[in-house]
Amino acid sequence: MPRQKSRRISWDAVRVAAVLAVMLGHITHQGPLAHPELADYPFRVTGQFGAAGLMVISGFFVCQTIRRGSTGRWLWRKVARLLPPYLVAVVVTYFVMRTAGAVFNGQGFGGGWFATLFGPTSDGIAWKTSWYVPVGKDLLINLFMVQGWHQSFIWLDGSYWTLPVQLMVFAAAALLWARVPWLRGDRRLQALAWGLTLVPLFVRFVVIGVHNPAPWAYSVVFGFGLHRMHAFAAGIAVWLWSRDRMRGAHLALLLAAVVCAQDLHLYPDHVALPTDPARLPSDLGFAVLLVTICAAAKGPDWTFLRPLAPAIRWLAGISYGVYLVHQELGYVLARVLLDLGVPGWARLPLVVAAAILTGWLLTTLVERPVHERLTRPRRTAPSPRSAPDDLLPERAGGPPAPVSVGGPS
């Protein structure tokens, strides 16, 4: 019987670091921007790079796992892992936002259960303060993941943007792998990585124009996720390099282009925003994270983290759930704690701990059992070894560990 490879701690550590960067950036920086009363945290993490890093990891593991077994089953495992907890998170976030927003704004709802659950406030004002009170249309828009197709659509949680982008990429990867076998060559994959980096820039800045006000322009860029394709390109390149199918100099050149693409997509008005305080931390943070991902992909395992391995693996295993619930629900909790007189230095760890606890509940009660049920083999005969998810390697001697993703930052 072949010896099972030991599980590498490096990938789990990279994921946890990226998710923590997303959390701290949203709580300490994006939260106060959206709700100025929450601006008393002891520090701010202004860099926006964690979610992009998670997509790089996702692109790497797409290349790693799509070659194993049935492509259709591979795609179904992705959908079964990502979609159910997302749908539950959307419903919970909607009702919490609706209730909390009305309370914070001093508003009420009309009579009847339907008006209370889905209708506008009694005064008809959704943005009375910075706390938005969503209506039934917002719930449907987020459940069907069409937020990026029109500027008037409201994101119940800004982190949700990663789900439609990832699912589109997974579906495209499955289709290309199954239907376009000639694309599997090294040079063609390298060309694909460059195309995913450069073509969206050409479309957004040359064909469309960065200040094009047309609704279709917004839909093309954000509906198709063109502003994030470079992250998946980086994942493809790192995977090729880790298998000695791309030279180091070529990888360095492509990753430099990816960092530039990230900067342009995050800060498209580069003339008006040369001194944006978040710009340099975002670029440097993303560059450092890319180097760290390369080290995890090809270097030796990070054995110096072994004493922390149980905690890191546990956090990596629930980080997708944490990602889904930390932002908007965290803002609501922060406002409640603020109203109770809790200062920023004490509020920050409480909000982080609450996100971890809620993410663990979502993982334990929804993600894992539903995924197991949806992917359970119908026959009693042994099924082929299934590939691990895009974001987590498999457990040593056991089934794949639960996923953790990313994402916007």
Mean pLDDT confidence for 18-29: 97
Residue range 40-52, pLDDT digits in tens:
999 999 999 999 9
- Using a 10 angstrom Cβ sphere, with 0-12 exposed, 13-18 middle and 19 or more buried, the burial of residue 166 is buried
Instruction: Find the distance separating the first CA and the last CA of the chain, reported in whole Å.
Output: 45
Residue range 185-211, pLDDT digits in tens:
889 999 999 999 999 999 999 999 988
| Contact indicator for 220, 226 with CB cutoff of 8 Å | yes
Q: Band of the pLDDT at 179, cuts 50, 70, 90?
A: confident
Q: Which of 12, 130, 48, 41 is nearest to 350 (CA)?
A: 41
Residue range 214-254, pLDDT digits in tens:
999 999 999 999 999 999 999 999 999 999 999 999 999 99
The count of C-alpha atoms lying within 13 angstroms of the C-alpha of 214, restricted to the half-sphere facing its C-beta, is 9
Check residue 50 and give left, alpha or beta (phi > 0: left; psi -120 to 50: alpha).
Answer: alpha
Beta-ladder partners of 394: 400
Tell me, letter by letter, the H, E, C secondary structure of 281-342.
Answer: HHHHHHHHHHHHHHHHHHCCCCHHHHHHHHHHHHHHHHHHHHHHHCCHHHHHHHHHHHHCCC
Q: Which of 99, 218, 97 is nearest to 152 (CA)?
A: 218
How many Cβ atoms sit within 10 Å of the Cβ of residue 298? 14
The answer on pLDDT for 269 being more than 70 is yes
H/E stretch holding 231: helix 229-242
What is the pLDDT, as a whole number, of residue 274?
57
The answer on pLDDT for 34 being more than 70 is yes
Cα–Cα distance measured from residue 253 to residue 233, given in angstroms and rounded to the nearest whole number: 12
Mean pLDDT confidence for 343-369: 98
Interior angle at CA 181, CA 176 and CA 187, nearest 5: 95
Cα–Cα distance measured from residue 105 to residue 125, given in angstroms and rounded to the nearest whole number: 10
Q: Band of the pLDDT at 275, cuts 50, 70, 90?
A: low
Question: What one-character DSSP code corresponds to residue 27?
Answer: I
**Which residue reads 């693409």 in tokens?**
261
What is the pLDDT, as a whole number, of residue 394?
41
Q: Band of the pLDDT at 302, cuts 50, 70, 90?
A: very high
Cα–Cα distance measured from residue 216 to residue 166, given in angstroms and rounded to the nearest whole number: 21
Question: What one-character DSSP code corresponds to residue 200?
Answer: H
What is the pLDDT, as a whole number, of residue 405?
38
Average pLDDT, the chain: 89
Domain ranges of the chain: 12-113+127-374
Q: Band of the pLDDT at 399, cuts 50, 70, 90?
A: very low
Cα–Cα distance measured from residue 283 to residue 225, given in angstroms and rounded to the nearest whole number: 20
Mean pLDDT confidence for 356-380: 92
What is the pLDDT, as a whole number, of residue 146?
96
How many Cβ atoms sit within 10 Å of the Cβ of residue 407? 28
Residue 144 CA to its chain's centroid (Å):
17
Residue range 87-119, pLDDT digits in tens:
999 999 999 999 999 999 999 998 889 999 999
Cα–Cα distance measured from residue 389 to residue 83, given in angstroms and rounded to the nearest whole number: 13
What is the pLDDT, as a whole number, of residue 6?
65
